[in-house]
A and B are shown apart, each in its own frame.
Chain A
Amino acid sequence: MNDLNDLDEMDTPTTPIPDLGPDLVVRPSVRALQRRAEEHRARALHHVSELCEQGRRDEVLRWLIPEMMRDPSLKKIRLWQLDVVMFGVGQERAFRTIRKAKALAGDKSNMKVGWANLGWALESQQDTIRMTSWLWTIMLREHLVDFRVPDGFPYEWIYRTPPGLQ
């Protein structure tokens, strides 16, 4: 992600003006900040897309979550956008998945499915249920996991330890 560093060099947020004293700085406009955050998000999504194209989907969250901690603007990446870039599904299907995940998590918040983002899904420790439900619903949808009683349940669990070792 060298692109993100390039952006910092290109558009420095605080430029001191020596004539008016060292404390006075020129702040960028709100619009410029928004544009900058949008660009960050677009680049992050592009990187996720590249990872998935290279078959490295298992690195997505490992990269995205620490990156989000470093750059809070990434918290506004919407879940449906992530779903679209990771699995190439349509917007409607991504919305439906979020709707199912909200029902599974028993979520009572007023968040609309189209607006649900990473920050909302990981808002607090208790709210991580939103993220796990969403990831799980995606995996069931994509047949990446088969939720069934494990083979040998329950006796392989009960008698896992060889006899005589107690």
Chain B
Amino acid sequence: MGVSIAVAVGLYGISFGALGVAAGLSVWQACALSALMFTGGSQFAFIGVMSGGGTLGAATLAASLLGVRNAVYGVQITALLRPSRTTRPLMAHLTIDESTATALAQPDAQEQRRGFWTAGVGVWLLWNLFTLVGAMLGERIGEPTAWGLDGAAVAAFLGLLWPRLVGRDARTIAVASAFVTLIAAPVVPAGIPIIIAAGVSGALAVLQHRSAR
């Protein structure tokens, strides 16, 4: 299971690399994000804000907020696998959607550990390899609108969002976020609507959490 996830996810690296270069990163900057940030959603957020004309500060903030869920995954992984202090820094780097989901899906401790490492290391290797391929392709393509690269970005974000739209609470937040973004976009500088939407969504989630108790 870990291997099949790794192969599928590695292929997304091509779209990240190509879109990253189209957004204004150099090939090596796109590769640095994949190697060091290594969390697809945040990386796409970073280049998504950039390509929308937002500042690098807004791009960093959006990427950082989207990465908060990885801290929650870290807690789950620590509770599940009880890793030693020395392996934690490396495991932290590999803690992403795919490695966490793979570990959580396994029935026993040994398989959970194996799933986490296979998915984590496998995705990291393929993600970086294909980011490089995509970035080099993107450099040749040049203009982002050529080949519908901007349409690919829209589809990439929708594809990340889709599996999370489960349940009424998530859909309510999505509708509110879309509304806030459209209202804010003409009024505040580029990139900021995404940050406002994140704040509103966080506040809504708190309200939903309270009313659920």
B is a partner of A: no
